[in-house]
Chains A and B, each alone.
Chain A
Amino acid sequence: DSGVTQTPKHLITATGQRVTLRCSPRSGDLSVYWYQQSLDQGLQFLIQYYNGEERAKGNILERFSAQQFPDLHSELNLSSLELGDSALYFCASSGGGTLHYGYTFGSGTRLTVV
């Protein structure tokens, strides 16, 4: 157990639908990162939050959004889903202010859009 909790582990949904992925960071970590892993794109950085504020944005589609709540858990919302959104979505956390200890990853949510 890495200490980063992601739910659900698996999600199957239809095109056009909306889903929410949840992440609880490791205790004490203030930064949360979302990554998408697909066979053709590899690991793509989506977005980072630090202590409730958006800090960095990567290749995140406009149909996707995220937020970090006061208790530091984060949610990634994916809407108007397309077949190409099928992927593994990872959340990671770090202490914030330094990458000296690297990221800690959750076990991911596998999203299948049918």
Chain B
Amino acid sequence: AQSVTQLGSHVSVSEGALVLLRCNYSSSVPPYLFWYVQYPNQGLQLLLKYTTGATLVKGINGFEAEFKKSETSFHLTKPSANRSDAAEYFCAVSEGTNFGNEKLTFGTGTRLTIIP
């Protein structure tokens, strides 16, 4: 069964500093991996995804993530934090590449706080 572990339920960084949110996954098949962001009182918005191909993927708002199979990791980074990045971030994995069955399993989330 697939699972996701997000290390650190709360992360605080200074404005302009590097953002690093950690995600490790478990999957019995080559995974599809996703990062979603949730702003207060809103739904989840897709930041970026890895399905196949290049292991370094770029997403919206300057975020990127690298799929490392040997480490079963998919950490999210951004070189310079903005105040607008304050939100909750969710890592998710899917093994369900069978047609019509694409369940996503989410991590418990990391709340990112930006220190002015």
**Could you tell me if A105 and B100 are in contact, using CB atoms closer than 8 angstroms?**
no
- B97–A98 touching, CB < 8 Å: yes
Given A42-B108, A43-B106, A45-B105, do A102 and B46 touch, yes or no (CB 8 Å)?
Answer: yes
Interface residue count on the B side (C-beta < 8 Å): 25
Residue interface mask B14-46, A partner, CB < 8 A = 1: 000000000000000000101010000011111
B81 to chain A, nearest CB (A): 24
Contacts of B104 in A (CB 8 A): 33, 45, 99, 103
Contact B46 A42 (CB under 8 A): no
> Do A51 and B105 have beta carbons less than 8 Å apart?
no
B57 to chain A, nearest CB (A): 12
Stretch with Cβ within 8 A of B (4 or more), from A14-22, A77-85, A89-97: A89-97
Q: Using Cβ atoms and an 8 Å threshold, which residues of chain B touch A30?
A: 100
Minimum distance in angstroms from A112 CB to a CB of chain B: 14
Q: Is the CB of B100 within 8 A of A43?
A: no
List A contacts of B96 (CB < 8 A): 56, 99
With A56-B96, A96-B100 in contact, is A102–B34 under 8 Å at CB?
yes
Q: Name A residues whose Cβ lies closer than 8 Å to a Cβ of B.
A: 2, 4, 30-31, 33, 35, 42-43, 45, 48, 50-51, 53, 55-56, 58, 90, 92, 94, 96-108
11 new A-B contacts at CB < 8 Å, known A90-B44, A94-B102, A105-B36? A2-B43, A31-B102, A33-B103, A43-B90, A50-B101, A55-B101, A56-B101, A90-B43, A97-B99, A99-B104, A103-B34
